[in-house]
Structure 1
């Protein structure tokens, strides 16, 4: 199974419509791989709080339409990062979209843990409630977003639901990059699962991004990494059978006592 992580970032001189078009072209360039992953809130920037309300869109809005078409044209499973979603009642969510190679919506995940404590996303966005997995031909994805990475119980729940590959788009700040790399490996080791973590490039509303998109195998070894915070594409080969082999050879998950 081959995956492409598109480490992109917002350009201050670029409209959201132009960014959608540019990113859709990048997705189409990944034809031939199995899974493509985009970062968190790439249409606005994860720290561009003042843009959330203005750029919020319904689930099946402009980003949905453009990304569905790109997934279909490329023939890939596409985790289209996340968007600021506005539901029918006016609530905002940080929502991830996953499309099948035919352009159908396979899953939507509303971010459960919102960052910001008493400001920003934490007060502007509503929390999601549901754990979400997606079955691909080769593996089962478990969906999480950025700040979720700090909450191991979420990933235990995803593993209990059958997840073998944990996909985490993020707008992670550069000043905590050490935590990003550490937690990505920790989630892989403790859950004996692949971690596919796609970071953002550049800066979001003046907040430098960590970049360093990374794929970690179930033993905690780094399969591939973009060792910078600039825009780029990380292409890796993932062997889904390593999950079962690791869990069989070192069956730590079977020894869990607290659930």
Structure 2
């Protein structure tokens, strides 16, 4: 497979609609790829909390429309990153969208782990409750978003649901970039799966972004890594390597489930 991770630059001085159309154009430029991935909350910026409410859109809003058309025009599977979704009851969610090559929506994933502790996303947005996988002809994607990367049980759940390629959209801050690389490789090694993690460039509400989108193979080897600016990271990888790795080193078969902490 050929995957293209579009590490788009998000800056406050660019209008959202302009960035939306620019992202759609970048997706169209990836015709010939099998899978294209955009980052988290690239319409607003992951740390631009004040914009979540004003820029929130329904699931089938302008970003959905633009990305569905771009996927169809390019003939690619498109993980369109995430948007601030406003649900019918008014609740906001950090929601990722995946489109098939015909432009039909294949999946929507509401981010389960919200970042911010007692502020920001953690209080402004609702939490998703469902793991989401997407079956492609060559592989099954497991979807995750940014802060999810710190919670290995989510990824193990995706593997149990059949995922062999883990795709992460993120707006990860530069000050914790070492964690980004470390955790992406850890999730690949412990789940014996590919990890495709796409971040943003630029600065969100004064928070410099890490960039450094990364593709890691099931042995934890980095196949490709971007810099910190706007960049398209393209890599060829063989999804069959996941099954081979799990057969050659069958660590997942030795899992011991249902362990409990001792009583105190």
- Using the TM superposition, give the Cα deviation of residue 202 of structure 1 relative to its aligned residue in structure 2, in angstroms: 1.0
Mean CA deviation greater in 148-157 or 5-14: 5-14
Secondary structure in structure 1 of the residue aligned to 2:126: coil
Who is 1:120 aligned against? 120
* Counterpart contact for 1:56–1:83, Cα < 8 Å: yes
Who is 2:95 aligned against? 95
Who is 1:69 aligned against? 69
- Using the TM superposition, give the Cα deviation of residue 10 of structure 1 relative to its aligned residue in structure 2, in angstroms: 1.6
CA distance in 2, matches of 1:89, 1:240: 40
Who is 1:106 aligned against? 106
Who is 2:171 aligned against? 171
Secondary structure in structure 1 of the residue aligned to 2:39: coil
Who is 2:261 aligned against? none
- Tell me, which stretches of 5 or more residues in structure 1 are unaligned? none
- Using the TM superposition, give the Cα deviation of residue 12 of structure 1 relative to its aligned residue in structure 2, in angstroms: 2.4
CA distance in 2, matches of 1:222, 1:237: 12
CA offset digits 1:162-203 (Å, max 9, x no partner): 000000010000000000000000000000000000011011
Secondary structure in structure 1 of the residue aligned to 2:9: coil
Who is 2:141 aligned against? 141
Secondary structure in structure 1 of the residue aligned to 2:41: coil
Who is 2:207 aligned against? 207
CA distance in 2, matches of 1:217, 1:22: 30
CA distance in 2, matches of 1:173, 1:220: 22
Report the TM-score, using the length of structure 2 for normalisation. Answer: 0.97
- Tell me, which stretches of 5 or more residues in structure 2 are unaligned? 259-264
CA offset digits 1:108-136 (Å, max 9, x no partner): 00000000000000000000000000000
* Counterpart contact for 1:3–1:33, Cα < 8 Å: yes
* Counterpart contact for 2:11–2:204, Cα < 8 Å: no
- Using the TM superposition, give the Cα deviation of residue 9 of structure 1 relative to its aligned residue in structure 2, in angstroms: 2.1
CA distance in 2, matches of 1:40, 1:126: 16
CA distance in 1, matches of 2:43, 2:129: 23
- Using the TM superposition, give the Cα deviation of residue 104 of structure 1 relative to its aligned residue in structure 2, in angstroms: 0.2
Who is 1:245 aligned against? 244
Who is 2:162 aligned against? 162
Secondary structure in structure 2 of the residue aligned to 1:167: strand
Who is 1:36 aligned against? 36
Who is 1:230 aligned against? 229
CA offset digits 1:54-113 (Å, max 9, x no partner): 000000000000000000000000000000000000000000000000000000000000
* Counterpart contact for 2:12–2:204, Cα < 8 Å: no
* 4+ residue segments displaced more than 3 Å: none
* Counterpart contact for 1:9–1:45, Cα < 8 Å: no
CA distance in 1, matches of 2:238, 2:183: 21
What value does the CA root-mean-square deviation take over the aligned residues? 0.6
CA offset digits 1:145-178 (Å, max 9, x no partner): 0000000000000000000000001000000000
Number of aligned residues: 258
